[in-house]
Amino acid sequence: MRDSHILRVLKQILVLAGLLIRFGTVFGHRFSIERGRMNSALDFRQTRSLNSRFNEMISILFRFP
């Protein structure tokens, strides 16, 4: 019973962290573009791959009951 509760809390923390990371990258890109420093496409691709890796981690976690 306690283990499932701990897992649920960990999942919530991971989801919140993922949302924060995603919004942080979006607003970071907007901010840098507004300041006139266009980020290279490579940086954007790296953040997108990080997001997809994070989504894979979350989906693997949610497969467990």
DSSP string, the chain: -HHHHHHHHHHHHHHHHHHHHHHHHHHHHHHHHHTT-PPPHHHHHHHHHHHHHHHHHHHHHHH--
Q: What is the pTM of this model?
A: 0.38
The C-alpha atoms of residue 51 and residue 56 are separated, in whole angstroms, by 9
pLDDT at res. 40: 55
Domain-embedded: residue 65: no
Domain-embedded: residue 17: yes
In tens, the pLDDT along 13-46 reads 888 888 777 777 766 666 665 555 555 555 556 6
pLDDT at res. 64: 64
Give the mean pLDDT of 3-19. 87
Domain-embedded: residue 60: no
Total domain count, the chain: 1
- Range(s) of the domain holding residue 31: 2-51
pLDDT at res. 32: 61
The C-alpha atoms of residue 9 and residue 3 are separated, in whole angstroms, by 10
With bands split at pLDDT 50, 70 and 90, how would you rate the model's confidence at 2?
confident
